[in-house]
Amino acid sequence: MLIWLNGKLVDSKNAKISVFDHGLLYGDGVFEGIRSYNCLVFKLDEHIDRLYASAQAISLKISLTKQEMKKAVVDTLKSNKLKDAYIRLVITRGEGDLGLDPRNCSKPTIFIIADKIALYPQEFYKKGLTIVTVPTRRNIPEALNPQIKSLNYLNNILGKIEAINAGVPEAVMLDQNGYVTECTGDNIFIIKDKVLFTPHVCVGILNGITRCAVLGLASKMGLKTSECMLTRFDLFNADEMFLTGTAAEIIPVVKMDSRLIADGSVRPLTLKLIEKFKGLTKTQGVRYAL
């Protein structure tokens, strides 16, 4: 496997960064997870725009232009001869000293990994997930805004640990006031009376690329959509529930906190959105040739 590292494609065994890199020492950096489908990098422009917005929010100057960054992503895929892949694009503050001061990091470290991914077994897409609400609360935006896709994912990892301990693959995280935010790695949606609901970004969530795509698809299908404040009560009484994310795509949820969602089966509107989303992955993005 070849890794794009600071402008060069190197073998994965030789893809190394300094132990003094502030991405390692302090989680000081940003990243994007991107998918390619049959030689099409899905919504690459949107991912790159969000990457640069995250970097701007933490005062991290990226040494490449957006066009150069997109080319680096495509070059990584082509060099590894990958038609279908998950791409992890990471930018750290770079090598510095043992202090926090970002001014002591001379230049950012940039690396791109392209590989296969299967976040959930295929049976979960057919039968649906079981999830739980966990005690760990989502970071408040005033402390560390979840819209910044930063390398500091400990908040999410703590929630994931609690999900694992409960014997389920994913967890719902609430904000400090008890409102639903998102799951540890995915955005959350419910359908009630043919209206699609999802938490508003102001509650403290990542404005997911797949999330935005689903909102657009729902509108085209004639579904009303609402970005609003949701509680566990709303989720318990949903007609349908599903999660979205770059790696997960759209995955149904059929049980939460020991309560079945509706009749506990994967419901028709969710299935229709999944099918429509598959169509998007064939058309929206940057195409490349191997």
Encode pLDDT of 121-167 as tens digits.
999 999 999 999 999 999 999 999 999 999 999 999 999 999 999 99
Active site residues: 149
pLDDT of 11: 97
pLDDT of 117: 86
Q: Give pLDDT tens digits for 183-210.
A: 999 999 999 999 999 999 999 999 999 9
- Average pLDDT across the chain, whole number: 97
**CB hemisphere CA count around 159 (13 angstroms):** 23
Domains of the chain (ranges; CATH) run: 2-115 (3.30.470.10), 122-280 (3.20.10.10)
Residue 198 near residue 223, CB atoms below 8 Å: no
Residue 147 near residue 141, CB atoms below 8 Å: yes
Point out which residues pair with 32 in neighbouring strands.
89
Q: Give pLDDT tens digits for 81-127.
A: 999 999 999 999 999 999 999 999 999 999 999 999 888 999 999 99
Longest dimension (CA), the chain: 57
Give the rounded percent of residues in the chain with a pLDDT score beyond 70: 100
